[in-house]
């Protein structure tokens, strides 16, 4: 059912990143809660982020949903990128930029 290809490997790696991010955002230790608060987001927003990241991850694991997962993941990462850039936290812009680029690559490879 799951064929080991470069495209699948990249998709699974990106999905794994989203799973880890979703878990971190769902648990939301004090440092993550402080980040969301500093950025002006409501207290529940980390849960929404976690759900979107997990949804993107699940879709990326399923070839028939992979493009939708890549789009959702890209949008989440662009939102994260816009947030950190708006708050001039430039060093935090690297991760969402890289993950967004890989999400776009996954979507393109899935066409």
Range of the domain at 68: 10-109
Tell me if 46 is assigned to some domain: yes
Tell me if 89 is assigned to some domain: yes
Residue 91 is given by DSSP the state G
Please give the Cα distance from 84 to 92 (Å, whole number).
6
Total count of domains within the chain? 1
Tell me if 57 is assigned to some domain: yes
What six digits make up the tokens of 75? 């949008």
* C-alpha pair distances (Å), 76 with each of 1, 3, 6, 99: 28, 27, 24, 10
Q: pTM for the complete prediction?
A: 0.95
Tell me if 98 is assigned to some domain: yes
Tell me if 45 is assigned to some domain: yes
- What band does 1 get if pLDDT is binned at 50, 70 and 90? low
Digit-coded pLDDT (tens) for 85-99: 999 999 999 999 999
Digit-coded pLDDT (tens) for 23-64: 999 999 999 999 999 999 999 999 999 999 999 999 999 999
> With helix as H, strand as E and coil as C, how does 45-85 read?
HHHHHHHHHHHHHHHHHCHHHHHHHHHHHHHHHHHHHHHHH
Tell me if 3 is assigned to some domain: no
What six digits make up the tokens of 37? 């608060």
Tell me if 39 is assigned to some domain: yes
Please give the Cα distance from 85 to 67 (Å, whole number).
26
Tell me if 4 is assigned to some domain: no
- What band does 84 get if pLDDT is binned at 50, 70 and 90? very high
Please give the Cα distance from 88 to 110 (Å, whole number).
34
């Amino acid at each position: 059912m799951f064929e080991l290809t470069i495209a699948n490997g990249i998709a699974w790696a990106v999905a794994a990143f989203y799973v880890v991010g979703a878990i971190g955002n769902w648990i939301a230790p004090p440092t993550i809660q402080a980040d969301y608060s500093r950025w002006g987001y409501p207290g529940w927003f980390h849960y929404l982020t976690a759900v979107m990241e997990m949804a993107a991850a699940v879709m990326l694991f399923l070839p028939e949903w992979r493009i939708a997962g890549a789009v959702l993941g890209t949008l989440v990462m662009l939102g994260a990128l816009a947030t950190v850039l708006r708050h001039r936290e430039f060093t935090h812009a690297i991760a969402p930029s890289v993950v967004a680029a890989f999400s776009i690559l996954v979507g393109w490879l899935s066409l």
